[in-house]
Amino acid sequence: MEFIFHEKQEGSLCAQHCLNAILQGSYFTAIDLAELGRRLDESEQEHMAEAGYSSEEYKYFMKQPSSNYDDSGFFSIQVLQEALKVWNLELIPFNSSEPICQEARKDPRTQKAFICNFKEHWFTIRHIGNQWFNLNSLLTSPELLSETFLSLFLKQLQHEGYSIFVLSGDLPPCEADEVLRLVPAVQSVKPKLLAEVKPGAGDQTTTSPDEFDEDLQKAIEESRHLDEDNDKTLREALQLSMLDFHLSSPLPVVPENKPEEAVDVEGLRKQRLAFLSQNEPQQGQSRPSESPRTQAQDQPELPTAFPTDDLSEETLLEMAIKLSMENSV
């Protein structure tokens, strides 16, 4: 945007700003345009004098103020047309039957620029690079117009009473046109009107990145607060949902640890001793004579897991306790 030449409104010099915007440079001053206006007045006076200096028409004309310029800085369409003739450019009314105007009404994107006027205010709409811009001097900076919005914008201006002129001819080359062909402009925030800018905010020709619309700032701030409220509400809802889930879910059944049954060590010891005493001969008594095979058959056999001949009493006791615990399970 900084490559686009854009003059801000000074007094009533909108015609000067309009011409310099369309040519993209400081080509005209108020003095230059006033001189053109004076020449037009002289030309009109000579034309009226053809009927005679003493004619009522001439006398009436001479009493009227200039219709081409005044001390406030206003300039007529005739002055603008005269200024553009230097560049072989011409302004044609938008509603004219000229082929260029018919094409402009059909598709304004085919044109190079438009000049608009309403209540003595002039401003330019121009094609720069591959984009369209509203170069109104009442704005703080150029306004980017999409190709879709261009047609709607022109219709809106006509509806509001603007007079629109189509520019015919080849515009002089400019730096902005070359730059924007390579790097198109991007505008996230529309420029303000100068009347909306607070005094002392600076008078640069382009808007800085920090120059945001107040309404947009408020909307962004409200959106942030809304997001924070939504996040807080969501967190509370999740907490309540989790609480409800825990209350409604059955508690897990924890298996109770059964106390281990006390092992009667003394009882096991007595049983072992009784078992052994039954298989031992009493003192002074002798067993009847039996064959080794018969004695082996009649004597109850211990399980192979209990080799009683080689185990100590403590080991046997431990094994008995272990078997007792396994059977209880």
- Return the active site residues: 14, 121, 136
Residue 104 in 3-state DSSP? Answer: helix
Between CA 256 and CA 245 the distance in angstroms is 25
Structure tokens at 191: 């420029």
Distances from the Cα of 88 to the Cαs of 23, 85, 167, 169, in angstroms?
A: 12, 5, 11, 6
Name the strands in the sheet holding 90-93, side by side, starting at the edge strand that comes first in the sequence: 90-93, 163-168, 113-118, 121-128, 131-134, 143-145
Residues 327 and 244: their CA atoms lie apart, in Å, by 46
Phi-psi map region of 212: left, alpha, beta (phi>0 left; psi -120 to 50 alpha): beta
**For every residue of 17-31, which 3-state class applies, written as one string?**
HHHHHHHCCCCCCHH
Angle at 16 between CA 10 and CA 21, to 5 degrees: 100
**For helices 30-49 and 77-84, angle between their N-to-C axes, nearest 10 degrees:** 110
The CA distance from 170 to 61, in Å, is: 37
For 190, the 3-state DSSP assignment is: coil
Phi, psi dihedral angles at 289 (to 5 degrees): -70, 120
Tell the burial category of 4 from Cβ atoms under 10 Å away from its Cβ (0-12, 13-18, 19+). buried
